[in-house]
Amino acid sequence: MTVDLIRQLRELEEEGARTTTAASSADEVERLRIELLGRKGRLTGILRQLGSMSAEERPRVGAEANRVKEALTALLDERIDATAEPAPAASGLDLTLPGRPRWRGGLHPVTQVVDEICEIFRDLGFTRVSGPEAETVEYNFSKLNTPLDHPAADMHDTFYLAEGVVLRTHTSPVQARVMEQFKPPVRVVVPGACYRRDSYDASHAPIFEQIEGLAVDEGITFVDFKATISEFARRFFGPSTRTRFRPSFFPFTEPSAEVDVSCQICGGSGCSACKGTGWMEIMGAGMVDPSVFENVGYDPERYTGFAFGMGPARIAMQRYRIPDIRLFYENDVRFLEQFV
Ligand code: PHE
């Protein structure tokens, strides 16, 4: 009797181990657990026979039954873990993850500065216009009182597209185009790309933006020029900004000036950004030379005016403290997205 029951227990252990190891799902393992060890299962069936055994025989079979039960329980538990459903994250859908931000795009920082400057001049009565980037030598130089042997017209500074056609080296030719098209009073700002055979370094690029300004009417004086530019500087850079006008030379203005604003970084006391001067140059400018009026058919005895040209990339560099102008042209998104 004892020997027979122990054989039955060993068979149960052996078969249970085989079927458990082969089980491929948690459900199947659970079914086996009930079949082998459940209240109406096979182990229970074997133990029922214990009742008909003598008191001396019972402990040996009981101990064997316990050992088999423990061994099968351990195997079943192990199999449950192995066949468990994968965690939600591994199934590819994790609803707790944060959303992906959508890339919104944005205007280039130089474009933003151009727009802001043009809006200030719009409020001062200036219209925004544009002109061609491929320009004739006549408009780029001759009508602006710049003879071709002037250093500015030299091949070294200018990209020639064809005989007599260049990539404009400044936005000033649009002055002549506007004056030929419209009678005074004229007040325009002209943003646009310009090209020069400059080296490509921290402060120069062969393509760069300019904003031209032109105001022509009867009775415009240097005072109007100074007041307009000073007001622009206060609106753009801030109300405490000071301006200074240094004598300079351009073939198409007389007198000519370069305009500085008090350094945005140190406020005028001198720092490394302004090389200790307390000032930053923002534009070339002056009163329109009477010979330019003659070239475009305006009466120089009747009309006067002022013109200016500024570089918005330089101004953006000062405003955002950008040490290298090339950052504006390389368009690395990691740089650009800071201005969105
Ligand atoms: N066109 C000049 C330049 O590119 C700037 C300028 C514009 C000067 C208008 C005077 C008047 O340097």
State whether the beta carbon of 286 lies less than 6 angstroms from ligand 1: yes
Dist. CA 154 → ligand 1 center (Å) = 16
Q: How far apart are CA 333 and CA 319, in angstroms?
A: 20
Dist. CA 82 → ligand 1 center (Å) = 79
Mutate to test the pocket of ligand 1, among 167, 169, 170, 207 (most ligand atoms within 8 A of CB): 170
Instruction: State the pLDDT at residue 1.
Output: 67
Identify whether the C-beta of residue 331 lies closer than 8 Å to the C-beta of residue 106. Answer: no
Q: How far apart are CA 320 and CA 285, in angstroms?
A: 24
pLDDT at 9 over 60: yes
Domain 109-339, CATH class in plain words: alpha beta
Q: What is the mean pLDDT of residues 97-125?
A: 93
State whether the beta carbon of 250 lies less than 6 angstroms from ligand 1: yes
Q: What is the mean pLDDT of residues 254-258?
A: 97
Instruction: State the pLDDT at residue 288.
Output: 98
Q: Quickly state the pLDDT bin for 92 (edges 50, 70, 90).
A: confident
Dist. CA 238 → ligand 1 center (Å) = 24
Identify whether the C-beta of residue 196 lies closer than 8 Å to the C-beta of residue 165. Answer: no
Each domain of the chain, given as residue ranges in start order, spans 2-83, 109-339
For the question of whether the overall pTM of this predicted structure is more than 0.85, the answer is no
pLDDT at 152 over 80: no
Instruction: State the pLDDT at residue 286.
Output: 98
In this predicted model, which residue has the larger pLDDT, 28 or 88? 28
Ligand 1 closest atom vs CA 194 = 4
Q: Quickly state the pLDDT bin for 156 (edges 50, 70, 90).
A: low
Ligand 1: residue whose CA is nearest its atom 10: 285
Compute φ and ψ for 216, nearest 5 degrees: -135, 135
pLDDT at 88 over 60: no
Identify whether the C-beta of residue 39 lies closer than 8 Å to the C-beta of residue 9. Answer: no
State whether the beta carbon of 309 lies less than 6 angstroms from ligand 1: yes
In this predicted model, which residue has the larger pLDDT, 95 or 293? 293
Peptide bond into 184 cis (omega under 30): no
Dist. CA 284 → ligand 1 center (Å) = 5
Which range, 118-132, 258-272, 319-333, has the best average confidence (pLDDT)?
118-132
- pLDDT > 70: percent of the chain: 97
